Amino acid sequence: MTKDLTSRMLAELKSGEVFRTAHQHNLSYLEGVMDARVFPGEEALEALTIFDEELPQGHCDPVELLNLLQAKGAPATVSTLGGRYFGLVTGSALPASLGARLMADAWDQVSTLYAMSPITAKLEEVAESWLKQIFNLPPSTVAGFVSGSSMAIQSSLAAARYRVLQNLGWDINAKGWREAPPVRVITGRHTHSTVVKGLSMLGFGTDNIEYVDVDDQGRIITAQVPELDESCILLLQAGNVNSGAFDDFEVLCDRANKVNAWVHIDGAFGLWAAASERLAHLTQGIEKATSWSVDGHKTLNTPYDSGFVLCADREALVNALQASGAYIVYSDKRDGMLYTPEMSRRARGTEVWAALKYLGREGLDDLIWGMHERAVQAAEALNAEGFEVLNDVVFNQVLVATDDDALTERMIGHIQQSGECWVGGSRWFDRHVIRLSVCSWATTPADIARSVKAFVDARTAVS
Ligand SMILES: *Cc1c(COP(=O)(O)O)cnc(C)c1O
């Protein structure tokens, strides 16, 4: 680095103007985001061509750079922080958690080892213990703080593969897959695509998945789960991505535990039902599984990206994600990289700790129950307007249909372009549906009423 550029950056760091500018822009963005259009309008999208430039030859003024981001970048954001984004399963961010994130970003910590960031290791340790209490998991459970459920599922499957093969007398790390004894993978037909992706990435082979039929809510039909044995990995679901339905954990975990099979629960958004007194019945029996994948950035409303792999078999998880290298100095404190596929990671445990500390048990219950109440409100109001709701609204998901699939499709486009709210489409058995997922602390009854009106207006406009 030339002396010239270093001294320039030193001056920028010390004067603080770059950070004050970023801070001011953030304040004005956050002030307006609740009332902003949900999906950006045409003009904002067209203005993005300003970023199509040649790689610059020299440096530029960092404040001007931030001003460009604010002027042309911010208007092309999707207002997922607000209360009217109902696409996929997309969380907002709690102010306390977002604030903690901004601080952790300024600290620029790496959560690889205790030696690289004691505070990050401490906050991960505390968050791990709180998560175990919330989900009532066995004392042996450890948590890895990963980017989201995709990586949490991948890590869990790696741990499951390690343990199941170890039980069959095979060391997968040393000997690999090629001549390994067969491992069976059993899951419901409505398993999430990231589970299938994880199985494919780890070499299980998607053709080898033993799919079990599901009932009209997308729950695995317990009686159709085949005879299990110790070569089996059973993948269950807390929160079907369309209907929000939960599998029967109690019965299936008991069956699996009798024969020493591994049970993983994909609870990306739904596992959080455990934290709400009136919804906890949905998650009955989850503590009997071996591993769990959950998101922070969905129901808990931490900023992106944040998810956790939780595993009651520490040895299997650590061995499956093993790393070696003489320069790695493990400590008797928490070394985060033991529980994640990544070596270097940002300090995302900070936002998780902040969200849980801010909410406490009562706030968490309030947050999750509130999402359920808004979903029920949406379902009832849409029903009253003559739409069909196809699922039992047990959690935060609502599947809406009209009697004409083509009309339903056209409505989705119209609603998205209106900027009033954002919903996506899906297929539910043989029907086209509009998926509405309530996953934001900011969604008020008025937001639901306004969004229902957007549905009604869209139907009128495209009929
Ligand atoms: C969102 C989701 C995933 C994937 O999670 P990411 O955090 O996006 O990686 C997996 N399973 C279910 C049920 C989900 O809703």
pLDDT of 3: 77
CB atoms within 10 A of CB 1: 6
**Residue 426 pLDDT level (bands cut at 50, 70, 90):** very high
Contacts of 85 (CB under 8 A, 6+ apart): 38, 78, 79, 92, 421, 422, 440
CA of 57 to the centre of ligand 1 (A): 41
Q: Is 218 in the pocket of ligand 1 (CB under 6 A)?
A: no
Q: Which atom of ligand 1 is nearest to the CA of 305?
A: 7
CA of 304 to the centre of ligand 1 (A): 13
Contact between 301 and 364 (Cβ < 8 Å):
no
pLDDT of 375: 98
Q: Is 272 in the pocket of ligand 1 (CB under 6 A)?
A: no
**Residue 267 pLDDT level (bands cut at 50, 70, 90):** very high
CA of 194 to the centre of ligand 1 (A): 7
Contact between 148 and 297 (Cβ < 8 Å):
yes
- pLDDT per residue over 17-37, tens digit each? 999 999 999 999 999 999 999
pLDDT of 321: 94
CA of 293 to the centre of ligand 1 (A): 9
Q: Is 264 in the pocket of ligand 1 (CB under 6 A)?
A: no
Q: In what order do the strands lie in the sheet with 209-212?
A: 142-146, 307-311, 291-295, 262-266, 232-237, 184-188, 209-212
Q: Round to whole Å and give the CA distance between 248 and 255.
A: 11
CA of 223 to the centre of ligand 1 (A): 26
pLDDT of 329: 73
Q: Round to whole Å and give the CA distance between 353 and 126.
A: 7
Q: Beta strands 262-266 and 291-295: pairing type? A: parallel
**Residue 256 pLDDT level (bands cut at 50, 70, 90):** very high
Closest to 343 measured CA to CA, from 363, 322, 368: 322
**Residue 332 pLDDT level (bands cut at 50, 70, 90):** confident
* Ligand 1 pocket mutation pick from 86, 192, 299 by most atoms within 8 angstroms of CB: 192
Q: What is the CA radius of gyration of the chain?
A: 24
Residue bearing the CA closest to ligand 1, atom 14: 268
In this structure, what token pair is assigned to residue 160?
A: 């499951």
- pLDDT per residue over 49-89, tens digit each? 999 999 999 999 999 999 999 999 999 999 999 999 999 99
- pTM recorded for the entire structure: 0.97
Residue range 246-270: average pLDDT? 98
CA of 150 to the centre of ligand 1 (A): 6
CA of 266 to the centre of ligand 1 (A): 8
Q: What is the dihedral of CA 201, 206, 210, 215, to 10 degrees?
A: 90
The type of residue at 46 is: E
- pLDDT per residue over 119-163, tens digit each? 999 999 999 999 999 999 999 999 999 999 999 999 999 999 999
Residue range 202-212: average pLDDT? 97
Q: Is 269 in the pocket of ligand 1 (CB under 6 A)?
A: yes
Q: Is 266 in the pocket of ligand 1 (CB under 6 A)?
A: yes
Q: Is 294 in the pocket of ligand 1 (CB under 6 A)?
A: no
CA of 128 to the centre of ligand 1 (A): 20
Residue range 368-386: average pLDDT? 98
Q: In what order do the strands lie in the sheet with 388-389?
A: 388-389, 397-401, 431-437, 424-428
Taking CA atoms, 136 is separated from 140, 271, 274, 283, 433, in Å, by 12, 11, 8, 10, 35
Q: Is 120 in the pocket of ligand 1 (CB under 6 A)?
A: no
CA of 196 to the centre of ligand 1 (A): 12
pLDDT of 276: 98
Residue range 298-315: average pLDDT? 98
Q: Round to whole Å and give the CA distance between 29 and 23.
A: 10
Contact between 450 and 34 (Cβ < 8 Å):
no
What is the number of alpha carbons within 13 Å of residue 30 lying toward its C-beta?
Answer: 12
Residue bearing the CA closest to ligand 1, atom 5: 149
Closest to 147 measured CA to CA, from 353, 333, 344, 356: 344
Q: Which DSSP category does 259 fall into? A: T
Q: Is 239 in the pocket of ligand 1 (CB under 6 A)?
A: yes
Contact between 104 and 349 (Cβ < 8 Å):
no
Residue range 432-452: average pLDDT? 97
Residue bearing the CA closest to ligand 1, atom 7: 148
CA of 151 to the centre of ligand 1 (A): 9
* Ligand 1 pocket mutation pick from 187, 266, 348 by most atoms within 8 angstroms of CB: 266
Q: Mean pLDDT in the chain?
A: 96
- pLDDT per residue over 320-331, tens digit each? 998 766 667 778
